[in-house]
Amino acid sequence: MAAEIHTTAPTISENAAESTFQEVDDRDRAIPAIEFRNVVLAFDDRVVLNKLSFKVMKGETKIILGGSGGGKSTIIKLVLGLLKPDEGQVLVDGVDITNYSEQQMMRVRKNIGMVFQEGALFDSLSVYDNVAYRLHEQGVPEDEVEPEVRRMLRFVNLEDAIDKMPIELSGGMRRRVGIARALVGDPKIVLFDEPTAGLDPPTARTICELAMKLRDLEDVSSIFVTHEMNNVQYICSEYAVVDEDGKVIFEREGERLCLTNSKVMMMREGKIIFSGTDEALRRSEDQYIQRFLRGH
Amino acid sequence: MNFATRALLELQETTLLAARAFGGVFKRPRYIPETIAQMDAIGVGSLTIIILTGFFTGGVLTVQTFPTLKAYGAQSQTGYLVAVSLVRELGPVLCALMVTGRVGSAISAELGSMVVSQQIDAMRALGTDPIRKLVAPRLFALLVSLPLLTVLADVLGIFGGWVTAVALYSVSSSVFLSAVRDAITTDDLIGGIVKPIVFSLIIGTIACRQGLSTEGGTVGVGRSTTRAVVMASIIVIIADYFLAKALQVILGTQ
- SS3 sequence of chain B: CCHHHHHHHHHHHHHHHHHHHHHHHCCCCCCHHHHHHHHHHHCHHHHHHHHHHHHHHHHHHHHHHHHHHHHCCCHHHHHHHHHHHHHHHHHHHHHHHHHHHHHHHHHHHHHHHHHHCCHHHHHHHCCCCHHHHHHHHHHHHHHHHHHHHHHHHHHHHHHHHHHHHHHHHCCCHHHHHHHHHHHCCHHHHHHHHHHHHHHHHHHHHHHHHHHHCCCCHHHHHHHHHHHHHHHHHHHHHHHHHHHHHHHHHHHCCC
Q: Is B118 on the interface with A (CB under 8 A)?
A: yes
Structure confidence by residue, pLDDT tens digits, B103-126 = 999 999 999 999 999 999 999 988
Residues A49 and A174 placed together within one structural domain of the fold = no
In a domain, B19, yes or no: no
Nearest-angstrom CA–CA distance, A129 and A246: 30
Q: Confirm whether A77 is domain-assigned.
A: yes
Contacts of B29 in chain A (CB under 8 A): 137, 139
* A223 belongs to a structural domain: yes
User: Could you tell me the residue range of the domain that residue B73 belongs to?
Assistant: 31-251
Confidence at residue B109, expressed as pLDDT on a 0 to 100 scale = 96
Using CA coordinates, name the residue in chain B closest to A181: B126
Contact B177, B162 (CB under 8 A): yes
- The ranges of chain B with pLDDT < 70 are 253-254
Domains held by chain A: number: 2
In a shared domain, residues A85 and A64: yes
How many domains does the structure of chain B reveal?
1
| d(CA A255, nearest CA chain B) in Å | 40
Domain end call among A156, A186, A216: A186
Domain that holds residue A246: 12-111+206-294
Contact B204, B211 (CB under 8 A): no
pLDDT at A61: 92
Inside any domain, residue A3 = no
Is residue A197 a part of any domain in this protein?
A: no
Q: Which chain B residues touch A118 with a CB distance below 8 Å?
A: 117-118
Pair (A53, A165) in one structural domain: no
Q: Which of B119, B121, B129 sits opposite A106 (nearest CB)?
A: B129
Do A22 and A97 lie in a common domain? yes
**A59, A219 in Cβ contact below 8 A?**
yes
- Does any domain span residue A90? yes
- What pLDDT is recorded for position A9? 41
The reply to whether residue A133 touches residue B119, judged by beta carbons under 8 angstroms, is no
Shortest distance, CA A77 to any CA of chain B (angstroms): 9
Check which CATH number belongs to the domain holding A75 and give it: 3.40.50.300
Cα gap B112→B223, rounded to integer Å: 10
| Partner-chain contact B29 A112, CB within 8 Å | no
pLDDT at A11: 41
Q: In a structure prediction context, what are the per-residue pLDDT tens digits for chain A, which is 296 residues long? A: 343 434 444 444 444 444 444 454 566 778 899 999 999 999 888 888 989 999 999 889 999 998 877 788 899 999 999 899 999 999 999 999 999 988 888 888 888 999 988 889 999 999 999 999 999 988 899 999 999 999 989 888 888 999 999 999 998 899 889 989 998 888 899 999 988 887 888 888 888 888 898 888 888 999 999 888 888 888 888 888 888 888 888 888 776 666 678 889 998 888 898 888 888 888 888 888 888 887 77
Helix, strand, or coil here: A89?
Answer: strand
Q: Is residue A4 part of a domain?
A: no
The pLDDT mean for chain B works out to: 92
- Could you read off the pLDDT of B80-110 as tens digits, one per residue? 999 999 999 999 999 999 999 999 999 999 9
CA distances (Å), A192 to each of A22, A72, A171, B112, B239, in order? 25, 11, 15, 23, 47
What is the pLDDT, as a whole number, of residue B23? 81
Q: Which of A103, A118, A134 sits opposite B126 (nearest CB)?
A: A134
ipTM over 0.85: no
Residue A246's CB: how many other CB atoms inside 10 A? 6
